[in-house]
Amino acid sequence: MPKSNTDVKEFEAEIRALTALDHPHIVKVVEYFEDKEDFYIVQEFCSGQDVCEYLMQAADKSGRGVPQQDASIILRQCLKAVIGCHSRGFVHRDLKPDNFMIDGTDRTVKLIDFGFASRLQSQAEADEVVGTPDYLPPEMVHHKGHYSGAVDIWSLGVVFWMLLTNEMLLDFELDSVQKWRDKLKDGSYIKSRLSSTTLAHASPDARDLLQKMLEVNPSNRISAKEALTHPFIEAHWGEDLDGAKHSNLKWDFDRGIIDKMRRFVAAPVIKKMALLCLAHIAPASESVGGAELSERLLVGRHLFRTVDADGDGTVTLAELTRVLRQENIDIPADLPELLDLCSGMGSGSGSVHFCDVMACLLIDTHCPEALIHEVFRSIDANDSGVIDIGDLQQLFAGTGLSYQDGIASIQELDHAGKGTLTYHDFCTLMRPCSKSWWEVFKR
């Protein structure tokens, strides 16, 4: 993005939002940097169409919106993305069909474009009018004062209306701000739209949820978490768009998850950091990752989405325990401590994020050397060709861990006795293994 026509504050806001959000339904930032003339954001590649294009294709066939089953599946994943934002204090403020991508073999919906995102310190702090006019909520249009994350629910409600009808909610020209305000002032216009014959084909559950999302009074508007448990959403819970779950890929729950968590915890701290890095960059590299890695990533994403029942992008002890019981997997007595040790490199938060879970699941996955080399380059921040103390200081910055732990790992793994970790030794360290890491490494 050229610096000459890029608002620095908006760029910084987008970076802050994206780097703080670790969620299967939110586009991932791989890295970002700048030079004298431009800003750069490297994101995972979303190969599919956006929801707007999906809607137009479906409308060509049906003459109206998408089938209600598809609308339920799309809306469920959109809601989870919004919950992921709100749970971390961010309001997106520009939700529209164009900003949701449908990506990958499993047809996952992912939220993009955080240029208008804002971190609210309280539930009623923002007062800017930003976003796309057709999707702005009444409280923002009237600009009467502060607003909260409820603005995202209204915008998503407009998206829901479009999915059902293939029409814009506002059927008048936005040629005057005053006309706009008058139309949305008392809610009568919205009520007339919701009771029109346009929605005659929609189910009672669909109309009920839509009405609750398009509640003019933001205090009475349904929240994202409440909407996620609505009967219209729960009717197609666990289903994938376009029947993607019926593909040749297996979505069976990984019954070895506890063993993989233990092996992750027991691994040297450098390997744990490398696995977290791999989990971060691998989704952007599936095209070069090989069949095994691609399938492991797909299965891992579905495992996480299955366990993360409330969609906030974290797995709690209660959520993991519930699924283990459903799968008839023995629950170890030390599961709380094990979960803490897998969380943010032992942050003790009582829950794990998306990359934490994926790092555990990738511990026995064969990765192509090109991807391992990318991980090594990411850790080798000073580009010296080895991992040294300077790299560790940067790697551990902000983690709450002492880089002395990394130095101890290097001393154990350093075959050359130079106090550094060579690329060859790093490749050996990253080999998948069912035994302890040291049994493999010492060979």
| Percentage with pLDDT > 90 across the chain | 42
What are 406-412's contacts with CB under 8 Å, separation 24+?
406/269, 406/270, 406/273, 408/269, 409/268, 409/269, 409/270, 409/271, 410/270, 412/268
Q: Summarize pLDDT for 20-53 with one digit per residue, the tens.
A: 789 999 998 888 888 999 999 888 888 889 999 9
Tokens 């009520």, residue located: 191
The closest alpha carbon to 275, from 365, 337, 348, belongs to 365
Higher pLDDT, 377 or 347: 377
Each residue's pLDDT tens digit, 378-433? 899 889 999 888 888 887 776 666 667 677 777 777 666 777 888 988 998 888 75
Which tops the pLDDT comparison, 434 or 63? 63
Distance CA 270, CA 382 (A): 17
Position 55 scores a pLDDT of 94
Structure confidence by residue, pLDDT tens digits, 69-103? 999 999 999 999 999 999 988 899 999 999 999 98
| pLDDT in the model for residue 286 | 53
Pairing of strands 314-316, 118-119: unpaired
331 CB-near residues (< 8 Å, 6+ apart): 321, 324, 325
- Residue linked to tokens 């993607």: 244
Count of alpha carbons within 13 angstroms of residue 367, beta-carbon side: 31
CA distance 437 to 443: 10
Q: What is the pLDDT of residue 402?
A: 66
Cα separation of 347 and 341, whole Å? 7
Per-residue model confidence (pLDDT) at position 261? 94
Strand ranges, E, within 250-367: 314-316, 351-353
Residue-wise pLDDT for 333-353, tens only, equals: 999 999 999 986 555 567 999
For residues 102 and 109, the answer to whether their CB atoms sit within 8 Å is yes
Average per-residue pLDDT for the chain: 84
Comma-separated ranges of CATH 1.10.238.10 domains in the chain: 257-441
CATH code assigned to 257-441: 1.10.238.10
Q: Averaging pLDDT over each range in 167-171, 218-222, 411-415, 418-422, which range is the top one? A: 218-222
- Band (pLDDT 50/70/90 cuts) for residue 248 is very low
Q: Which residues does residue 110 pair with via DSSP β-bridges, in sequence order? A: 101
Tell me: the pLDDT tens digits for 3-18? 998 888 878 877 877 7
Does pLDDT of 104 surpass 90?
A: no
pLDDT in tens, 296-323: 888 888 899 999 999 999 999 999 999 9
Where in the sequence of the chain do the CATH 1.10.510.10 domains occur? 3-239
| Fold annotation for 3-239 | Transferase(Phosphotransferase); domain 1 (1.10.510)
Q: From CA 79, how far away is CA 273, in angstroms rounded?
A: 31
Return d(Cα 61, Cα 243) in angstroms, integer: 18
